Chain A
Amino acid sequence: MKDFVLAEFNDEVALCAAARRLRALGHGDLDTHSPVPLHGVDEALGLKRSVVPAIAFVGGLLGAIGGYAMQWWMNAVDFPINVANRGFHAPPANVPITFECTVLLSTLSIVFGLFALCGFPRPHHPVFDVEAFRTASIDALWLSARVNAAGAEEVAEELRRLGAVQVARVPEEERR
């Protein structure tokens, strides 16, 4: 049984310090929530580099190979079309569509890769149970820690000591 402990902070320096302190105490399952991307939280939370560029590259590569192969197979192998006696396989004529397929596949993999990495769509999440947390997308900075229910009060106390403006607790399982 896990609980979410949410704490609002006044500035990003305090937020990062609190994240570092909780990690030092052995709480690994942390996250920060802010209306804009913050500097320094990735390091404070120990997040690694995003894999989105790799996904984009693989998507683009598949698009390029797939786009070219499609044109070659369709117009030179399966259904050869003679246009003014040019070769059935005409590489220069295949350039534009190969490029467009590269961009299309790469774009689709970036966006759907982003959704998959963020776990979207997930319209509901336990943190939304705290009404005050709604300011996280507007003007406030929040820290969330997923901790054992037994130790939750201790973490909440620690966060208050670290300068949190307000602290709230939500059980991970929704109360029914």
Chain B
Amino acid sequence: MSVDTRHLASNVERADPLEPMPVLVGRPSDRELNDQLMGFWAQTRRGWLALFGIASSLTGLLFLAIGYTFAKGIGAWGNNVPVAWAYDIINFVWWIGIGHAGTLISAILLLFQQKWRTSINRFAEAMTLFAVMQALIFPVIHLGRPWFAFWLFPYPNTMQMWPNFKSPLLWDVFAVSTYFTASLLFWYVGLLPDLAALRDSARSRASRIVYGIFSLGWRGSARHWRHYRIAYLLLAGLCTPLVLSVHTIVSFDFAVSQLPGWHTTIFPPYFVAGAIFSGFAMVLTLLIPARVVFGLKNVVTERHLDNMAKVMLATGMMVSYGYACEHFIAWYSGNPYEAFVFFNTRATGPFAPVYWLMMTCNVLVPQALWFPSVRRNTIVLWVISILVNVGMWCERFIIIVTSLHRDFLPSSWAMYRPTWVDWSILAGTIGFFGGLFLLFLRFVPSISASEVKELRRELEHEAAPHAAEAGHGGAR
């Protein structure tokens, strides 16, 4: 890619000693940004095809395993009584949590006017959408009779019944479906100017028509921008409390029950922090290879990775505080059932290796991020991000399975073992997620070109307010 190497070169002489890690390397023109951010999708690469092949195979496995579940029933899974919730709910909570970082980056950081969000928000929002899609699969296939999934919604029916609105499970239906709808609309509205730019720089008639339809006729008119900017800001304002509410309500599924290990008031904030922690880890897992493969190092700079690593460290500390608080309350409450779950079942029981893996990945490993040299080493950062994802999956496993498998009466205790169907569905959703993400990288600008163009203007304005006033407004 000739364009960005030129920027990297020109940056050396322009580098600001007071700003060692810029949010945008160099000051590429609008046309150069357009060519760079919209150009890479044009060629199909072999590596892309290979990855897409793997993702498609895993997606096939997913639908095979789901079909097998539908044919055989939930008995195909390792679930039993008392472990009635297992991989289905673990994976649901894990995927929903991953989605939260996207909304955090796109909405909350927009409200806080964090410039570094600009280059990564589209990427993170797409991750949110695809993660929530994976999450939505699980409650439905866990219904037992998934063809009646529409019973979850209040609709006038011949049974003359309405759902029970006092149940957190129904709150979850509303929270997750609202979250998916709002994230989709937010993402699409943000895409409009870039879809128009794709339409206008398209080489073939077919892509001009397709992007023409999806851009809805965006002309970059002053009237469009005037409504668009306030609409985008309001959507961000609404998505901010929404994202906090979603994982809060997911945690109510557990906290409202009276099961030791679930029945704690710290769950809502602790779940939200865990969600953001795992979501940032997933953004890093995807972004670190993508910025290298697509030559985006001048737009997604070390500054972005450094900031994301700091957010991961902060949320990781909140999660660690959550663990400490849970254990303290288990001891301080004097409740023998609660203490048994935390000090016997989890730390020394049959799932102790998972517990200690969780503690290692979520509490110990992120401590390395205190060191700037670790945050700047992309390979180490990438490995840490994967370990955090593993750790957060283990956390949901520990919360759900260990609390259930030791029931109140020892006569009701049972062991839980996942089957090949459980593993296939988990692996399959990872493949499905990856496949959707690869399609996104190929057909949609994964970095918001219009916002980076605006960012460049803002940065120029900050550097030289008067010169900027007189000359640059223009685009060429």
Contacts and interface: CB of A to CB of B under 8 A. Distances in A.
Given A52-B227, A104-B178, 14 more contacts: A31-B223, A35-B197, A37-B225, A97-B174, A104-B181, A107-B185, A108-B181, A110-B231, A111-B185, A114-B231, A118-B224, A122-B216, A122-B217, A139-B31
Contact of A99 (B224, B245, B473): B245
A32 B193 contact: no
A50 B304 CA distance: 33
B257 to A, nearest CB: 13
Main secondary structure of the interface of B (DSSP, over half): helix
Interface in A85-104: 86, 90, 93-94, 96-97, 99-101, 103-104
B418 interface: no
B220 A70 contact: no
A124 B185 contact: no
A52 B231 contact: yes
A139 B227 contact: no
Contacts, number: 212
Interface in B429-476: 450, 453-454, 457, 469-476
28 contacts: A10-B476, A11-B472, A32-B221, A35-B30, A35-B193, A35-B475, A36-B453, A39-B473, A42-B226, A45-B222, A47-B223, A56-B231, A74-B162, A81-B166, A94-B165, A96-B168, A97-B170, A103-B245, A107-B186, A110-B231, A111-B235, A114-B189, A118-B223, A118-B227, A119-B217, A121-B216, A125-B217, A139-B30
A83 B217 contact: no
A120 B154 CA distance: 31
A33 B200 contact: no
B411 interface: no
Contact of B222 (A41, A75, A99): A41
A167 interface: no
Interface of B: 29-31, 34, 154, 160-168, 170-171, 174-175, 178, 181-182, 185-186, 188-189, 193, 196-197, 199-201, 212-213, 215-231, 234-235, 238, 241-242, 245, 249, 252, 450, 453-454, 457, 469-476
B216 A100 contact: no
B226 A135 contact: no
A86 B167 CA distance: 12
Nearest to A78: B162
Interface string A20-41: 0000000000011111111101
A96 B245 contact: yes
Interface of A: 9-14, 31-39, 41-42, 45, 47, 50, 52-53, 56, 70-71, 74-75, 78-79, 81, 83, 86, 90, 93-94, 96-97, 99-101, 103-104, 106-108, 110-111, 113-115, 117-125, 127-128, 134-141, 144
Given A42-B226, A121-B217, A35 B473 contact: no
A107 B221 contact: no
A11 B474 contact: yes
Nearest to A83: B166
Contacts of A107: 178, 181-182, 185-186, 235, 238
